[in-house]
Amino acid sequence: MRPALVWRGVAGWAIATLLLRVAGQHLLPPGDAIGTLVLFAVSAPVMAVTVRVLCARFEPRRDARPAAAVALLLPTLLLDPFSSAFFPLVFPNIPREAAGVFGGWMLWCCATGLAGVTLPPSRRS
């Protein structure tokens, strides 16, 4: 496991959590299906590219990059279940009805990040 990627994952988780504590009410309004779909659609390529680039930077062997992605995403996978379970305490500015969207969004971000390192590179002419 790449400790540098785990620490970057911890830093990314902490920064994202702080940003959601400040402005998450604008990003996760409950009952806004269109807004949720847009959030998921925008997050997918951002996560796929970010994880792919970071893993390529820290892991030169392509076959080892999925494990590097797990190291990078592990803090989110370990810590955000607690953020979801204690949603009103962690994110007092976001309505508690948005907890499900938050949990789904975190899974979506991790899944698309993992997809970013496992999909074959694009062929450009």
| 125 within domain boundaries | no
47: Cα separation from own chain's centroid: 6
For residue 121, is pLDDT > 80? no
Task: Give the domain range for residue 98.
Answer: 3-20+36-118
- Determine the pLDDT at residue 50: 96
CB atoms within 10 A of CB 95: 15
| 123 within domain boundaries | no
Answer whether 43's CB lies under 8 Å from 112's CB.
yes
Averaged confidence pLDDT in the chain: 93
Per-residue pLDDT tens over the stretch 59-80? 999 999 999 999 999 999 999 9
| 111 within domain boundaries | yes
| 13 within domain boundaries | yes
Q: Give the total number of structural domains in the chain.
A: 1
Distance separating alpha carbons of residues 111 and 94, to the nearest angstrom = 24
Per-residue pLDDT tens over the stretch 72-120? 999 999 999 999 999 999 999 999 999 999 999 999 999 999 999 998 8
Confidence of residue 124 (pLDDT cuts 50, 70, 90): low
CA 17, 81, 78, 112 dihedral sign is negative
| 31 within domain boundaries | no
| 110 within domain boundaries | yes
| 28 within domain boundaries | no
